[in-house]
Structure 1
Amino acid sequence: MTENHKITVIFLTVFLLLQSCAVKKFIPEDERLYTGASVEIKSDSVIDNKENLETVLEEALRPEPNSKFLGMRPGLHFYYKMQQQNPGFINRFFYKRIGEEPVYQSDVKPFEVEEILRNRMENRGFFYSQISSEFEEKEMEASINYTVKAPTPYTIASYQLDSLPRPIYSEIKQSVGKTKLSKGMRFDLSNMKLERERIDNDLKHNGYYNFNANFLIFEADTNQYDRKKFDLYLRLKKEVPNKAIVPYKISKINVYANYNSQDTTTTEVTRFNEKNFINSADFFNPKYLDPFITLEEGQFYSPEDSRNTSRRLATIGAYKFVNIQYKEKDSSLTDSLGILEANIFLSPLNKRAIRAELQAVTKSNSFAGPGLAVTYSNRNLFNGGETLNTTASFGYEVQLGSGSNSGNTSINLGLKSELIFPRVIFPIKIDTDFFEYAIPKTKTSVGVDYLSRTKLYTLLSGTAQFGYIWQANKYVTHEIIPISINYTKPSNTSPEFEEILDENPFLKRSFDQQFISGLNYSFTYNGMVDTAKKNQFFLNATVDVAGNSISLFGKENEMGKKEFLGLEYAQFAKFDADFRYHFNFGKEQVIATRLFGGYGYAYGNSDIIPYVKQYYSGGPYSVRAFRIRSLGPGTYNDAENPENNYFDQTGNIRLEANIEYRFPIISYLKGAVFADAGNIWNSKANPVYHGADKFTSNFINELGMGAGVGLRVDVQGFVIRFDFAAPFHDPSTEEGFNFDVNETVFNFGIGYPF
């Protein structure tokens, strides 16, 4: 151990002792600090799943002792500090965050805890258990040990269904046949509760609309046995209402596709596919709305069908509320059947909406400027749930500084329209019953972008896409774009720009192939929707393939490259994966991690992937200690070639890793501490970069790394993010690891980075 390490260990030990003493000096003379309890189970027989039983007993121990961290009790420390006459700002701040009132030995009620433990044991078949307790006292501290003497537990000899009225008898008998309760199982109230809920769920799916799990009761009979066995009987409680023990059928389905809660007057009814569409035909065509409704007249009530219908209707994107109500027809109730009328109330969103986004951009090449995007949405455009989104964007950047390129400007104009149909548009009719969770949507979009960079070129590009998006279940989403076309045309090129291209053949080739036609597929697993889970996972995998289909029709030009309709087209394949893991603990505290890997391969008609399809690294959603598109490729240093820094630094390989600790500060203000690592490379070295950009086995040492802190304003899921990060490893320099605060980068973003 080095001298520095010895000093650190000694300092930490002294600090912990001082903190411990600082707490103990505040404990009253007639008290001891309660440090916790333990439970020991003693039994003459083998206990199945003993670990689970111990966990159940430990959860019943009261009270909870004060929390500890590295041997200290910071919450208790700040509580005592607050009792002083002038606690100070720091003590008040931390007391609000982590302060805890002390728990003393006198707060422990052993007899009450023993009674709770005895109850837990009886609920799991260990009747007549003996519980004892004993305090273990030290100077200023005390703990307690509970000893549980467990007798041989009672076990099931048989599980039988008692006599029940029809028709519910046959339904419950069929459900009991699928039970997990078996001969030899230990008596356990929690298992019986689960059994009642399982039977109730089965009955609900068979139409028993008014049934409740509490209507079922278990009875145990030990009279037939001498060796702690019992017969278990299931029956109905007394005075269960008749309407609870008969199934219900749906006699009528009424759909209010344009429901206004203040307008209950019925004026028009359209009958379609055995459903009544009320005041709906002029708003939402019943032909297009009907496939989203899985309820049918004449079928038995099913909560699953109700949930499916509600969820499918909500995915249309035209409604803010979906409310399904059932009305009982008491006059039609018999001893064997009940009748329901289903009313589906759909409250539309505003037909038109406008959203504006204001952005600020700053890049490593000293370009900075504002950006504005305005989106106009028109919902239910053709009375079939269609949504039209039209976005107009404007961006202006100017290169600051005193170099030769100072004063250069960049103007970006864009217009994009996206039309989404909440159904499958395909030459062959698709049976929507196959898509149980949600009906796929058809997406079409067209867009045009204009980019003007002074002294260099003007770039006009157009895009068109047609594809489908389908949510397979709660977690999984598929998106396939079988038709994706991108055309880019440079014009007004200056001699300076032509000279740059001549000196950089890789850049020149990335601009040459102006036509991209391909297929995209994306798979997303989003476990983040389970917000209450401690462990959350997310995975997005994307495949982008271009040029294969049109290569069948291509004709070779004088340069040996194939063209389609007179345009040289690109051929490449890209695959990338984005994996995220969140560990949730404490109150709004999260450790969020992310891994990203991407690879692009040019083949056939292409020597290099088109410029617009290449990867970049750095920025508010990447490695935040480096400005956007400024990191890499490899160990390349753009300071050596200032004439090339007008272009973003790109590559066909990208690797990144991020970790972030998120915590609450006060109200809507959240904090974060993070570290990022990543870079881009080329699989084939670009001569302009002198080989610094090529991916090798030494890639780990070429990762750009940085760390920083962040502030986030989180108002009901809408997040405005401010991150400050500084690099501690810059692959473009030979300084090694050096945390340079003077190179701190400010990042502004909307939403969390991952």
Structure 2
Amino acid sequence: MRIKKYIGLFFPLLIFSCSVKKFIPEGEQLYTGSTIQLESDLSKKESEEIQTDLEKLLRPLPNSKLLGMRFGLWAYYKGQKEKPGFINKFLSKKFGEKPVYLGQIQPERTSNILLNRLENKGFYFSSSIYQITEKGKFANLEYQVRISDPYILETYQILGGDSLPINQEIQMLMGRTIMKKGSRLDLDELKKERERIDRDLKARGYYNFNPDLLIFEADTNHYEDRKFDLYLRLKSNTPIKATFPYSIEHIYVFPDYNVHLDNGDGDTVSVSGIEFIQKPEIFKPELLQKYILFREGSKFNPEISRTTSNRLSNIGNFRYVNISYDVSDTVLREDGTYPLKANIYLSPLNKRSVRAEIQGLTKSNSFVGPALLLGYQNRNLFRGGEIFNLTGKFGYEVQLASGDREALQSIEMGLTGSLVFPRVLFPVPVMNRFRYSIPKTRISAGYEYQNRTDLYLLYSYNTSFGYFWNVNRFVYHEFNPISLSIVNLARTSPRFEEILNANPFLRRSFEQQFISGMNYTFNYNQLADPDRKNAIFIGATVDFAGNLFRGLNALIGSENPGSIFGLEFAQYLKGDIDLRYYKKFSAENVLVSRIFAGLGVPVGNSLSLPFVKQYFAGGPRSVRAFRIRALGPGTFMPQDTNMGGFFDQAGDIRLEGNLEYRFPFNKYLKGAFFVDAGNVWLYKENDALPGGKFTNSWAEELAVGGGFGLRLDIQLFVIRLDTAIPLRRPWLLETGPWQDRIWLGNRDWRRDNLVFNFAIGYPF
């Protein structure tokens, strides 16, 4: 109730303070916008499309509004005062908008622009009148547009006969035309038709053709009811070389191209009719030729050329890829084509690189400390585009602000190696089935040492074998048929044994030492298209473990079906989905909504998911008003917080929703308001974690938080600081889970409720 009271007082004050009426000079009226009223006999859908198109032509735009207030205009007026002060100057500079007065509007000119657009759409002899409505210091316009009947296509044909091969080709392409009988005389549609014909001709080898060589002629003389005949012909001065196709006569590839050197002195090796020129051998020709989709004798096709360029770029070894074509001869060949020479220039990246990185880590659970990362990379390890990565890590963390919990220390060391082949390692050849991007094969192995002092010592080993590829620029797949992990809890302290004894659920998750399974990931990401106004992201992952070993043990009649080679293995089914929607109001004003749902089902001998496979909630990429791993499961809350209770706060099920509005302060500094809700739950009942099991009352057990964030976005990376307040604590369900006050002036309240999250990158 107190929060509602403050909001009720705040908004009227804000509205009053942002009023601009008193700033408008005498003799001026603020322009508040224009509307268009259409009169037509068109269908509702077509009328709405035309109205939307016409509204885009209304200029100038009125001053913008935010929550019904003209904040930008108010900031401008405040900055124009004789002594504006620092704050008003700042607001005016960053947010101010110059006023748009009625005197700046030219309604006659706008009316003519509207009629011109209608003529381009086929609506000739339409009419437009306007009316000005004045309300004191404000004024707006209304345009009343009467749309005439459009001119409709009756016939469409090609002029010029079949004397040239290109006319025959165009005639064959008429079956794919967008100009159907009944179409309007729309200039935009005619432009699309020319571009379609040009695109289809280019795909048939017409290298020197362009859409400007085509002319449309409309004839209305044969009709009295607004019909027309459409004719298409070539310009009279069309070059003869534009009317014949081109075929590739020679293909030259330079795998070690340098713009500053003479690249023609290398050794030449011919594979499948492609000449590879390099010295010494940088890339094996027999492997590189598989990425090139065109061959000698094939007609020029820009789509195949672009796809080839994309395939070569996706190898990951080249700084840039350039495919150029030269007319190698001016004589028409016997097959009716002109010859082309294709040159493929590949500029390689540095083969080896070494990276050393020192990090200062600070986490939401109050762990801080340094970390050292050493990395080595070898591109083109076996001269086939293979990329080898070796990474070592050493880190030390200590828990400073641990509250009631006793401070913990952690030492972590790890070594990870991976080898990526830019092709499919598979018994059967499958590369030719992929055109946009050939799948890559990844083999990885790693070792990790984790010593959480006074608690446990843990060794883990992992290896995987799998494939990943892009179907197009939006769709990504990853499939790992082999994924193995071995976890060895080498030492536990009496203190940690107390935690394990109090929670059999946690003990079982640590005891399952062997994880063998497969996983698959799918991503559909429309953010790859920067011109898309609104975008969606869909991510899904499925993970299976232990089922193969369980089946083998059943087949051979093993006495212990839950172990293999003397190691107990985990068996589970796990899947999750991540849905996001990005609503763009402008280039940098974006409303992001996100829903995440994950479910892990322990099966067979497993009572819970392995600890490394469990879900956690809270932290900088989850419900930000709660510290990392400090939320759930369900309504559970550790009673003995000084025993490192965050170990318990994991689950087999995770549900989460986020809503974030992002906006800019300037080019580099961005802001965001956000609300998060979510929790984790257990799939099976656990007496040690009361209230943790998932039930039909899950909606009442959601944690809710909200806050404000600042982001320093310098394109290469984003530094993010989010400040959040818990609005709903699920473990207080019986006594009242909702926050009853916002008391920023109280030090104790701030300590208990303000949560800061520092992270790199956007949360989603």
Instruction: Give the TM bin, normalised by the shorter chain.
Output: over 0.9
Match of 1:358 in 2: 359
Match of 1:257 in 2: 255
Check the 8 A contact 2:364/2:758 in 1, yes or no.
no
Question: Which secondary structure state, in structure 2, belongs to the residue aligned with residue 153 of structure 1?
Answer: coil
Change (3 A) 1:220 1:412: same
Q: 1:71, CA displacement in angstroms?
A: 3.8
Match of 1:517 in 2: 516
CA distance in 2, matches of 1:524, 1:190: 35
Q: 1:115, CA displacement in angstroms?
A: 2.1
Q: 1:646, CA displacement in angstroms?
A: 6.5
CA distance in 1, matches of 2:73, 2:402: 57
TM-score of the two chains, using structure 2 as the length reference: 0.92
Q: 1:39, CA displacement in angstroms?
A: 2.7
Check the 8 A contact 1:518/1:545 in 2, yes or no.
yes
1:466 lines up with 2:437 in the alignment:
no
State the one-letter code of the partner of 2:611: Y
Q: Decide which moves more: 673-682 or 30-39.
A: 30-39
Question: Which secondary structure state, in structure 2, belongs to the residue aligned with residue 684 of structure 1?
Answer: coil
Structure-to-structure mapping, 1:117-132, within 5 angstroms: 117-132=114-129
CA distance in 2, matches of 1:245, 1:325: 21
Change (3 A) 1:729 1:310: same
Unaligned runs of 5+ in 1: none
Of 193, 199, 202 in structure 1, the residue corresponding to residue 200 of structure 2 is 202
Q: 1:405, CA displacement in angstroms?
A: 7.5
Q: 1:14, CA displacement in angstroms?
A: 7.8
1:309 lines up with 2:329 in the alignment:
no
Q: 1:652, CA displacement in angstroms?
A: 0.9
CA distance in 1, matches of 2:402, 2:7: 48
Match of 1:380 in 2: 380
CA distance in 1, matches of 2:269, 2:373: 42
Structure-to-structure mapping, 1:183-222, within 5 angstroms: 183-222=181-220
CA distance in 1, matches of 2:738, 2:407: 35
CA distance in 2, matches of 1:709, 1:71: 22
Structure-to-structure mapping, 1:11-90, within 5 angstroms: 16=15, 19-20=18-19, 23-43=20-40, 49-90=46-87
Match of 1:747 in 2: 757
Change (3 A) 1:148 1:729: closer
1:394 lines up with 2:404 in the alignment:
no
CA distance in 1, matches of 2:459, 2:301: 55
Q: 1:57, CA displacement in angstroms?
A: 2.4
Check the 8 A contact 1:557/1:563 in 2, yes or no.
no
Deviations 1:563-612 (A, max 9, x none): 21121111111111111111122241221222111111111132222122
Deviations 1:29-80 (A, max 9, x none): 3332222223333457879822222223222223222223344322222222
Check the 8 A contact 2:123/2:148 in 1, yes or no.
yes
Structure-to-structure mapping, 1:75-224, within 5 angstroms: 75-163=72-160, 165-224=163-222
Deviations 1:197-222 (A, max 9, x none): 11111111111111111111111112
Match of 1:569 in 2: 569
Question: Which secondary structure state, in structure 2, belongs to the residue aligned with residue 509 of structure 1?
Answer: helix
CA distance in 1, matches of 2:474, 2:237: 43
Deviations 1:137-181 (A, max 9, x none): 332333333333433322212111111541101111112222121
Match of 1:723 in 2: 722
Match of 1:237 in 2: 235
CA distance in 1, matches of 2:322, 2:43: 53
CA distance in 2, matches of 1:488, 1:551: 19
Q: 1:347, CA displacement in angstroms?
A: 1.1
Match of 1:736 in 2: 737
Change (3 A) 1:618 1:695: same
State the one-letter code of the partner of 1:88: G
Question: Which secondary structure state, in structure 2, belongs to the residue aligned with residue 287 of structure 1?
Answer: helix
Match of 2:491 in 1: 492
Match of 1:580 in 2: 580
Q: 1:693, CA displacement in angstroms?
A: 1.3
Over aligned residues, Cα RMSD in angstroms? Answer: 2.7
Q: 1:443, CA displacement in angstroms?
A: 0.6
Match of 1:343 in 2: 343
Change (3 A) 1:28 1:459: closer
Deviations 1:334-380 (A, max 9, x none): 6942221111111111212234362414464x644333333221111
Match of 1:651 in 2: 651
Change (3 A) 1:194 1:581: same
Change (3 A) 1:186 1:500: closer
Change (3 A) 1:378 1:110: same
Check the 8 A contact 2:75/2:88 in 1, yes or no.
yes
Change (3 A) 1:641 1:248: same
1:618 lines up with 2:628 in the alignment:
no
Check the 8 A contact 1:726/1:745 in 2, yes or no.
yes
CA distance in 2, matches of 1:243, 1:402: 78
Match of 2:673 in 1: 673
Change (3 A) 1:618 1:220: same
1:633 lines up with 2:643 in the alignment:
no
Change (3 A) 1:186 1:666: closer
Q: Decide which moves more: 546-555 or 240-249.
A: 546-555
Match of 1:455 in 2: 454
CA distance in 2, matches of 1:617, 1:70: 33
CA distance in 1, matches of 2:5, 2:608: 55
Question: Which secondary structure state, in structure 1, belongs to the residue aligned with residue 541 of structure 2?
Answer: strand
State the one-letter code of the partner of 2:720: R
CA distance in 2, matches of 1:409, 1:44: 77
Change (3 A) 1:747 1:370: farther
CA distance in 1, matches of 2:646, 2:119: 76
Match of 1:526 in 2: 525
Q: 1:283, CA displacement in angstroms?
A: 0.7
Give the count of matched residue pairs. Answer: 748
Question: Which secondary structure state, in structure 1, belongs to the residue aligned with residue 507 of structure 2?
Answer: helix
CA distance in 2, matches of 1:168, 1:285: 40
CA distance in 2, matches of 1:558, 1:222: 87
Deviations 1:678-716 (A, max 9, x none): 211112222222x22111222222222222222222112
State the one-letter code of the partner of 2:510: F
Check the 8 A contact 2:31/2:62 in 1, yes or no.
yes
Structure-to-structure mapping, 1:290-305, within 5 angstroms: 290-305=289-304
Question: Which secondary structure state, in structure 2, belongs to the residue aligned with residue 549 of structure 1?
Answer: helix
Q: 1:748, CA displacement in angstroms?
A: 1.8
Check the 8 A contact 1:363/1:629 in 2, yes or no.
no
State the one-letter code of the partner of 1:163: G
Deviations 1:620-667 (A, max 9, x none): 111222222121112222233633527352111111111212111223
Change (3 A) 1:643 1:80: closer
Q: 1:27, CA displacement in angstroms?
A: 3.0
Identity %: 47
Deviations 1:404-454 (A, max 9, x none): 98464321111010110000111x222312111111110100111111233
Match of 1:483 in 2: 482
Question: Which secondary structure state, in structure 1, belongs to the residue aligned with residue 58 of structure 2?
Answer: coil
CA distance in 2, matches of 1:91, 1:540: 45
Match of 2:661 in 1: 661
CA distance in 1, matches of 2:659, 2:21: 37
Question: Which secondary structure state, in structure 1, belongs to the residue aligned with residue 662 of structure 2?
Answer: strand
Unaligned runs of 5+ in 2: 743-748
Q: 1:18, CA displacement in angstroms?
A: 6.5
Question: Which secondary structure state, in structure 2, belongs to the residue aligned with residue 81 of structure 1?
Answer: helix
Match of 2:746 in 1: none
Q: 1:333, CA displacement in angstroms?
A: 4.5
Change (3 A) 1:413 1:8: closer
Check the 8 A contact 2:404/2:641 in 1, yes or no.
no
